[in-house]
Structure 1
Amino acid sequence: MNSIRKILGPGLLATLLAVSLGSAARADQTWDFRVFLDDKEIGTHRFDLIEQGAERQLTSQARMKVKVLFLNAYTYDHHDVEHWDGECLNTLSSKTDDNGEKHRIEVKRANRETIVKRLEGPGKGVQWLGECVMTFAYWNPAMLQQTRLLNSQNGDYVDVKITDAGLDSIDVRGVKTPARRYELRSFKLSIDLWYSEQKEWLALESKTERGPKLIYKLK
């Protein structure tokens, strides 16, 4: 277990999977990803969006399993439901089993504040943030303009720097597709994101501390 955690890096999955639409997105969208550690498939991560005017509901479900010598060395299960008003998070409820370590987070926006409650897991307690907060909403083009993002697994509010790295191309469902790449960096994260010309999220890659890449590919 410890060796797998070292490969993935402390808190990497916690942040990568804390994802939670911007004006470019359509109602009732789904992003359904296969997840790889380098070339080894380790699970899935699916996002389902329901949009009604400015109100949005996003459901995120991730399941991953890393095997070593046919044994389950690492498992991850994350479920997250978010409600948004425009680009501001209204409520969030998440549960995570990170290889036996349990996390449970509740978030509510009220009275010009965003209240984050850590109900289970390390650092249990309450914190008060600003009126308009965004999670690691990779599917939302507005996220690319943010300097701080909320981790929906553990409630951390993370400083980030996001840079437009220019035009690129990437394989999407077996087709080479024009895209624009963005680099998201923070103290422990190095994430590359690809978007179509219409600003729809296409792919993700993240370098881990020991070398392997965590890769999201659309089904």
Structure 2
Amino acid sequence: MRPSIFRPVVISLRDIPLHYILIAMLLVSGSLSAIPAFAREWHFDVSVDGLPIGTHDIIVQDKGDARSVQSDMRYGVALLGASYKQHAEESWQADCLTRIDTRTEEKGRVTTVAGRLEAGAFVITGPRGQEQLAPCVMSFAYWNPRVLRQTHLVNAQTGAWTPVTVHDLGKEPLEVRGTSRPASHYRIDTERNRIELWYSPEGEWLGLRSTTRDGHVLSYRLR
């Protein structure tokens, strides 16, 4: 038998410069610990009683169990000289709100809300003062279908801890971007409003319709 021409090569770590070893360790540890971030976006055209009044844009950035949310509402009724703008930023850990900062401008009046998870309680400060809530709360985050399981939600404009009642209205198709899609229909009742929501079978938020106490109907359509 002819002897093999291959010989095992043994490399001692002592033969490799230390900084090369450190770089390799950093690259490996970084690739193992890095968690990719995923963005989900909703862009709605908003109308009241069938008349277009503005937009609502929401971007949710997911990174593992952590989420950051940016929401921008811009409404205006030129004939009435009325305008409404709201910019909100939220941080979440899983399905629990850990931070909220909101600035709302309505008819020239500005209000702010700030909330933080502190020492086992969610502390929120708004126009009505400061309030301590349970450590795991949710805002009216319609992009997360878990809002449908709640009995109270944080109002981003006022900071109020708002009682809600959720009704399952069954399944019905909803027109989304010109296409009929299967959807589950729900309604959230508050003291002031009735908010109807539609979700796809996968839990994607598809649309909204809200009826105010004075009978106006606000509608969201994905664009």
Q: TM-score, normalised by structure 1?
A: 0.83
In 1, Cα distance between equivalents of 2:170 and 2:176:
18
Counterpart pick for 1:112 among 120, 123, 131 = 120
Find the counterpart in structure 1 of residue 152 from structure 2: 148
In 2, Cα distance between equivalents of 1:29 and 1:86:
15
Find the counterpart in structure 2 of residue 182 from structure 1: 186
Does 2:199 match 1:191?
no
Query: What whole-Å deviation, never above 9, does each CA across 1:67-104 have from its counterpart, x for those lacking one?
Result: 32xxx421000000000001110111110101122111
Counterpart pick for 1:218 among 209, 218, 222 = 222
Q: CA deviation at 1:208?
A: 2.3
Q: Name the SS for the 1:199 alignment partner.
A: coil
Structure 1 stretches of 5 or more lacking a match?
A: 1-25
Q: CA deviation at 1:56?
A: 0.2
Q: Name the SS for the 1:187 alignment partner.
A: coil
In 1, Cα distance between equivalents of 2:71 and 2:157:
11
Q: Name the SS for the 2:148 alignment partner.
A: helix
Find the counterpart in structure 2 of residue 43 from structure 1: 54
Does 2:102 match 1:94?
yes
How does 1:59-98 map onto structure 2 within 5 Å? 59-68=70-79, 72-98=80-106
Q: CA deviation at 1:173?
A: 0.5
Question: Amino acid of the residue matched to residue 173 of structure 1?
Answer: R
Q: Name the SS for the 1:143 alignment partner.
A: helix
Find the counterpart in structure 2 of residue 103 from structure 1: 111
CA RMSD of aligned residues (A): 1.2
In 1, Cα distance between equivalents of 2:154 and 2:108:
23
Q: TM-score, normalised by structure 2?
A: 0.81
Find the counterpart in structure 1 of residue 40 from structure 2: 29
Structure 2 stretches of 5 or more lacking a match?
A: 1-36
**Computing the radius of gyration over CA atoms, which structure comes out larger, 1 or 2?**
2
After TM superposition, the runs of 4+ consecutive aligned structure 1 residues lying more than 6 A away are: none
Find the counterpart in structure 1 of residue 13 from structure 2: none
Counterpart pick for 1:137 among 141, 154, 160 = 141
Q: CA deviation at 1:211?
A: 2.8
